[in-house]
Every structure is written in structure tokens, then in C-alpha cells.
Amino acid sequence: MKLVIFPGGGSPGNPKYASVYRLLDQEAKKFGYTFTDSSIQWPGHEIKDILTLDGALQIANDKLDELESGCDKYDILARSFGCYVALKIALDKKPKALCKIMLWGPPP
């Protein structure tokens, strides 16, 4: 089973957060995940862009299209801002291969 991580406002590519994503990958294996995808970066994680829900939804929709075209089941772990993105696409797309969404620190 795959685990896909929808990050918050902090980019997984930022060295400041790299150890967190390495730990998530390491610990996910203990829960039976065979693959952890922490490659998603929202527009706005780079200085030249602004983080918006619409921009993040475009990236998330592309990722879900890719995941849904395969045969594998997957879970989403959404962090902070990523919780908004995960819930919105789950409601709009109703993905078939998605088993569960875990919300970690959703904003108020």
C-alpha cells in the first residue's frame, strides 16, 4: 500500500523539514506501507509563488489522476494546509483507490 503525503505550508524539499519527511518514510514502513511519496510541493513552497488552495488543488488533482490510473490502493497523510487540499479533492473527485485520509494538525 502506498502512503502519499500532502504537506502543509512547509515544503518537503526544504532542508528545514527534510528530517521530518525522512522519519515519516521510515515509520510508515512499520505500518505496512511499501512506498511513501513525499514529493508533492505546492505552488508557494518556492519564493516566486504564492501558496493558494487553487494552486495546490491543481497539483493534487494531477497526483490523484496518476494514482487512480494505477491498480494500487493508497492512503493520504495530510499535514496542516494539506488537510484542506485532501478533503476538497476527496469530496470533488471521490477517488476509488483511496482507502483513508489521515489529518495531522488541520488548521482551524
Q: What is the pLDDT along the chain (108 residues), one digit of tens a residue?
A: 999 999 998 888 888 888 999 999 999 999 999 999 999 999 988 777 889 999 999 999 999 999 999 879 999 999 999 999 999 999 999 999 999 999 999 988
Q: How far apart, in Å, are the Cα atoms of 9 and each of 40, 82, 96?
A: 12, 8, 27
Residue 46 confidence (pLDDT): 73
Residue 18 confidence (pLDDT): 87
Tell me the backbone φ, ψ of residue 65, rounded to 5 degrees.
-60, -45
Three-state DSSP class for residue 17: helix
Residue 26 confidence (pLDDT): 94
Q: Cell numbers at residue 82, please?
A: 494539506
> Which of 33-58 are b and which e, b meaning 16 or more Cβ less than 10 Å from the residue's Cβ?
beebbbebbbebbeeeeeeeeeebbe
Q: For 42, how many CA atoms within 13 A lie in the half-sphere containing its CB?
A: 26
- Residue 65: name the closest of 99, 98, 43 by CA: 98
